[in-house]
């Protein structure tokens, strides 16, 4: 990128001007990662100071049986496959109760598009979960699942959301977004919930008072211009509804065979590599700069590893999800020893060590508890360092 354009973009960011599609593409073309980080960190600090939010949540997948076979997905199973499963309602409640330690505040539930489970199952399971864990917020279902419920129930999304909210639904999840541009989407998504339905369902949820997340699956067969397009669609919708609480760039993962039959289900991994840490940090930075009207950018540390998660906090992210136990969709994706369990203490230390002030939040981003600011790096280095044998 030439120096003139760099100065122009920098001036826009510091003046708080909205960046254009061309600006977004130009930012992705820059190899100056430190510069991108500085700009994104400026914006992130304007919005969120030195705070890093986190919540204590657990993930629950009621079924991995799915009618679709999205090309990047290694989670789905077909009925009758060895490790296909569907939880009975009492089983889901028992599993959730087992997770109810450490003052759990949120259950995150996403599932396959089960071909024969009746619609009634879903509100029923929410009601029973809410009765068993009244203080835990239920963040459940992607827009893709809600569109699936429309098909299997004959009800409208409006009626479906009303019933789910009545049963205890606090928020939708942000999944099913992947990359909205059809040029890419047609090759990776195998259901018919695309931008039109995804945005319709989130806008409806926003009108009903929900705050929802939005995601983007990057680092597969898309190009930077598709990421820019994805974010700009969301930004435009956010101008209308103001209902997105957070944007979550999700790093595409290869299939690290752990299925009962040893079968690799991911059909695009032969054609692509996973995004490098530098590419991930650039994606966080450009997303923070372009998506100027979303309050938070989240790093889902399970997909990045803990070091990149810490660094992402200097590249626009201000929210870490979560304290996940048993995350089934991906695990140790980078083979760097990323754990699949983090407890409150682990998250606090992760945030302090990165130089930020931890703030525990709930599903709607209300503050649950503020913690002390991090000691300065100089102070931390002044402490005797532990020597590992």
Residues within the interface to ligand SF4 (CB under 6 A): 66, 68-70, 73, 75-76, 112-113, 144, 191
Q: Closest approach of Cβ 238 to ligand SF4, in Å?
A: 24
* C-beta of 77 vs 361, nearer to ligand SF4: 77
Nearest to 63, CA basis, from 76, 80, 81 = 76
* C-beta of 213 vs 316, nearer to ligand SF4: 213
Helix residue ranges, H only, the chain: 3-15, 21-29, 33-48, 89-98, 121-132, 143-153, 157-166, 182-188, 195-207, 224-241, 277-290, 306-312, 344-353, 377-382
* C-beta of 113 vs 228, nearer to ligand SF4: 113
Which residues make up each annotated binding site for [4Fe-4S] cluster? 66, 70, 73
Pairwise CA distance, residues 224 & 196, whole Å: 22
Q: What tokens does 201 get?
A: 């369902």
Q: Closest approach of Cβ 74 to ligand SF4, in Å?
A: 8
Q: Return left, alpha or beta for 154; rule: phi > 0 is left, psi -120 to 50 is alpha, else beta.
A: left
Q: Closest approach of Cβ 144 to ligand SF4, in Å?
A: 6
Q: What tokens does 58 get?
A: 């657990």
Q: Closest approach of Cβ 265 to ligand SF4, in Å?
A: 9
Is residue 358 within 8 A of residue 351, CB to CB? The reply is yes
CA angle 340, 345, 347 (to 5 degrees): 55
Which residues make up each annotated binding site for S-adenosyl-L-methionine? 178
Q: How far is CA 297 from CA 103, 236, 344, in A?
A: 24, 17, 20
Nearest to 342, CA basis, from 320, 359, 363, 357 = 320
Q: What tokens does 344 get?
A: 């409150």
Q: Return left, alpha or beta for 207; rule: phi > 0 is left, psi -120 to 50 is alpha, else beta.
A: alpha
Pairwise CA distance, residues 271 & 92, whole Å: 37
* C-beta of 94 vs 271, nearer to ligand SF4: 271
Q: Closest approach of Cβ 267 to ligand SF4, in Å?
A: 11
* C-beta of 331 vs 344, nearer to ligand SF4: 331
* C-beta of 123 vs 175, nearer to ligand SF4: 175
Q: Closest approach of Cβ 115 to ligand SF4, in Å?
A: 11
* C-beta of 96 vs 110, nearer to ligand SF4: 110
Q: Closest approach of Cβ 218 to ligand SF4, in Å?
A: 15
Phi, psi (deg, nearest 5) at residue 273:
-110, 165
């Amino acid at each position: 990128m030439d120096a003139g354009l760099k100065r122009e973009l920098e001036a826009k960011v510091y003046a708080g001007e909205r960046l254009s599609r061309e600006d977004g593409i130009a930012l992705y073309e820059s190899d100056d990662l430190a510069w991108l980080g500085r700009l994104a960190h400026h914006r992130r600090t304007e919005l969120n100071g030195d705070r890093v939010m986190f919540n204590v949540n657990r993930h629950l997948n009621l079924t991995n049986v799915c009618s679709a076979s999205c090309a990047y997905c290694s989670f789905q199973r077909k009925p009758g496959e060895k490790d296909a499963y569907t939880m009975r309602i009492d089983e889901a409640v028992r599993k959730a109760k087992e997770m109810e330690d450490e003052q759990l505040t949120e259950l995150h539930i996403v599932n396959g598009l089960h071909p024969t489970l009746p619609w009634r199952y879903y509100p029923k399971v929410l009601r029973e979960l809410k009765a068993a864990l009244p203080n835990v917020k239920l963040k459940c279902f992607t827009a893709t699942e809600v569109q699936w419920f429309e098909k299997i129930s004959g009800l409208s999304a409006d009626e479906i959301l009303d019933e789910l909210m009545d049963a205890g639904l606090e928020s939708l999840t942000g999944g099913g977004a992947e990359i909205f541009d059809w040029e890419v989407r047609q090759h990776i998504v195998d259901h018919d919930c695309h931008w039109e339905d995804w945005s319709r369902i989130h806008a409806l949820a926003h009108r009903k008072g929900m705050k929802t997340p939005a995601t983007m699956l990057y680092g597969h067969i898309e190009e930077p211009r598709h990421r820019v397009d994805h974010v700009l669609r969301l930004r435009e919708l956010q101008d209308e509804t103001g209902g997105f609480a957070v944007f979550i760039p999700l790093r595409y993962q290869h299939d690290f065979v752990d299925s009962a039959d040893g079968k690799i289900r991911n059909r695009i991994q032969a054609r692509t590599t996973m995004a490098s840490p530098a590419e991930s940090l650039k994606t966080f930075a450009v997303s923070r700069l372009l998506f100027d009207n979303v309050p938070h950018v989240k790093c889902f540390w399970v997909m990045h590893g803990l070091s990149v998660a810490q660094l992402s906090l200097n590249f626009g992210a201000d929210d870490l999800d979560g304290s996940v136990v048993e995350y089934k969709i991906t695990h140790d994706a980078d083979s760097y020893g990323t754990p699949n369990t983090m407890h409150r203490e682990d998250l606090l230390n992760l945030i302090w060590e990165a130089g930020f002030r931890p703030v525990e939040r709930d599903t709607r981003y209300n503050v649950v508890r503020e913690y002390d600011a991090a000691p300065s790096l100089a102070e931390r280095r002044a402490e005797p360092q532990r020597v590992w044998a």
